[in-house]
A and B are shown apart, each in its own frame.
Chain A
Amino acid sequence: MVPVIDAFRCDGCGICVLRCPPQVMGTVKSIAVIITDLCEECGICAEVCPIDAVRFKLPHRSYRSTDQAYKALPR
């Protein structure tokens, strides 16, 4: 899972760019960007971002076994 920069929120402070271990980040139009092909998915950019502008969350919700939609899923 490659982190996603929230472009609406990023203020271009560049901390993630400095701290990215493989050094595969930069800024375009004062917004952080990741060279996704070289991203090693370590999540340090998300950890160091002071304003939570890097989304790096696993999918949180699944269907419960009692949900109608879950029951309808092909097995």
Chain B
Amino acid sequence: MKPGEKKYPHIFSPYRIGKVELKNRIKYGSTETNFNYGDGFVSDKEVAYMEAQARGGAGIVTTQGAFTDPRGEGKGYVGMMGIWNDEFIPGLQRITDAIHAHDSVAILQLMHCGRVGGIELDYTVGPSMVKQKIRRFREPKEMSVEEIESCIQEHIDGSRRCQEAGYDGVEVSGIVGYLISNFISSYTNKRTDEYGGDIVGRATFMRKIVEGIRKQVGPDFPIIIRLCGEELLDDRGGNKPEESLEAIKIAEQAGIDCLSVTAGWQESAVSVISRDIPMGHWLYIAERMKKNLSVPVAMAYRMFLPQLAEDAIVEGKLDIWEMCRPMIADPNLPNKILEGKEEEIIPCMACNICLARLFRDAELDCFVRPSLGHESEADWGFHGFSGSQEKKKIWIIGAGIAGLQTGAVAAEKGHDVTITDKADHTGGQLAAASHGPGGDDEFMRLVDYLEHRCKQFGAKIELNKAVSRDEVKASEADVIIVATGATPHIDVPGADLPHVVSCLDVFEEKAKVGKKAVVLGDSGAAIATALLLLHRGGHEVSLVGKAKKPGQDVNPSYIWRYIKKLRDESAVLVRNTKVKEITEKGVVVDTPDGEQVIEADTVIVAHMKPNQELSSAKKRIYTIGDAITPRRGSGAILDGVKMGMRL
């Protein structure tokens, strides 16, 4: 018995969907990648990515959604797979083969993106013309009954191709604003014909698809459906949870074998999958489904830890542990849990960079795993880095995430690695940021993972040791890497006054902050500081900066809620200003309306300046991470991996 089977007996017990046997209860959930060709044909990159997901040990591996219509109305992502013609079958078959090679169950997802589709068209389609709230999407056209019927048939034809391509089952996506959810929701379906009206009418489109597919694929071929358990669209007339449940019951009667339940739409004005939602928060929805249905229930959404899933299964809240982002971050997650190597799992930070890239028509990307999309390229080390022929002595100065990441890769390659940091802990700025509110303590999972990897491969970590230029000059290391990060700095008169403090010290509670707090800066660091102070309470916070909008570096799926939170909690955003001077009373700024004084008991500097002093101590020194130029954490990890690859 493997350690994981002992620790999580339910997750690793065999299970079944319909008549299909699963080796465990882990499902890699469908995720778009934008890795495929623009005409919908499967690319080598996609096959390598899916192979990695299957190799990682999940019982079920679901492909990304494939669009079913030749017009491209259902296509919501530029690199989305197509399944509207038999010509796609050979490519889709390559994915099936890759999944079957690792003894996993291969499920193909059919997806029509509805009002968030038509990526290459100047319109989208939907049950009714309901104006878009998100600028990216084009206005929907109301579908005629003929169009609806041919759309249903296209789904059925898709299921036939799925079966012909060798898949073990088919999944239909009807979540987050895709076509089926548009029909089911009272927010987007205003029809008065048989496809609209009450929830039974609104679910007709979905029911006909499921019934049609069942007729096509036969009784033994599993059909999974992804539906919303709660739309979280109360502010714009979406379904009530009871209506969502009613629609799901209709799906069950229509012949599904498994439900994958979700929460929220892309248009929902509340957090759903970001870090501020505690892990396991949405489980109550799965529990409600379990109580009302007899088919197995799967759920993803902020369930990153196996214990949560194990407990949920034991408590009868869940049958299948589904994951998207945690397995984008580490496809080997199931096997690592099974083998009792949980500390080796690359932890997802719920940063949503993956989503942000998809919405910008770019390929999927990951903060914590730069090898994403490079699974077949040995240099990127997805399957491990092979030993270097020449063993070098490598000295990394700075144990922030860039330094640790380089150290981990270099040590895995067999180099003699020493990482030195002046602080008494590893993690640098990320460790400081982990004191922030809204789930930011999860940042320590990444720091701990990186530190574990360094130690696992024998890298030495020296703490409490400041390094001087002379020491660098005198060093006999073959390679010196400066990863000293950045520190808050502002170059104005008065910056050395006692009430001027660093944002990092505020995070680590090394600096006291008075009632009136002024944060200087434009970046995410400044916003995070303001949010932290509001969370601690007792402060009047102003955010003062040069840029028109703060947080240009922050992921779009986080920035709107950050700004909303700042506004809701009456933080004052002072923009388009230049700091002239800091005085004992406050901050003197130049604004378009002339000079102003912003009163402050404490001035917090969040302008980050690279620490490059050691970079010029001698020739041929490498500089990585924020020590080159301050960026987000993803930049530090990317630098760290790239640096490691070159050693």
Binding site for B on A (CB under 8 A): 1, 19, 21-24, 37-38, 40-44, 47, 56-66
Contacts and interface: CB of A to CB of B under 8 A. Distances in A.
Interface in B536-568: 552-553
Contacts of A37: 642
Given A22-B629, A58-B79, A60-B38, A1 B635 contact: no
Which among B362, B363, B634, B639 has the greatest number of chain A C-beta atoms within 10 A? B362
Interface SS, B side: loop
Contacts of B631: 21-24, 38, 40
Task: Please give me the 10 A-B residue pairs with the lowest Cβ-Cβ distance, nearest first.
Answer: A60-B38, A62-B37, A62-B41, A22-B631, A43-B360, A43-B362, A21-B553, A65-B90, A65-B87, A58-B79
7 contacts: A24-B631, A37-B642, A40-B631, A40-B638, A44-B360, A58-B363, A65-B89
A38 B628 contact: yes
A24 to B, nearest CB: 7
Given A58-B78, A59-B37, A41 B632 contact: no
Contacts of A63: 41
* Interface size bracket, B side: 20 to 34
Interface in B564-614: none
A24 B356 CA distance: 19
B37 A58 contact: yes
A66 B86 CA distance: 10
A54 B331 CA distance: 33
Contacts of B505: none
A38 B552 contact: no
A66 B90 CA distance: 10
Nearest to A19: B552
Contacts of B91: 65
Contacts of B363: 1, 41, 58
B553 A22 contact: yes
A22 B357 contact: no
A33 B365 CA distance: 22
Given A58-B79, A62-B37, A43 B552 contact: no
Given A21-B553, A60-B37, A61-B38, A42 B629 contact: no
A58 B363 CA distance: 8
Nearest to B79: A58
B38 A58 contact: yes
Interface in B1-45: 34, 37-39, 41, 43
B361 interface: yes
Contacts of B88: 65
B628 A41 contact: no
B349 to A, nearest CB: 15
Contact of A38 (B43, B360, B629): B629
Contacts of A61: 37-39
Contacts of A1: 362-363
Nearest to B552: A21
B95 to A, nearest CB: 14
B87 A47 contact: no
A64 B361 contact: no
A2 B78 CA distance: 16
Contacts of A57: 38, 78, 361
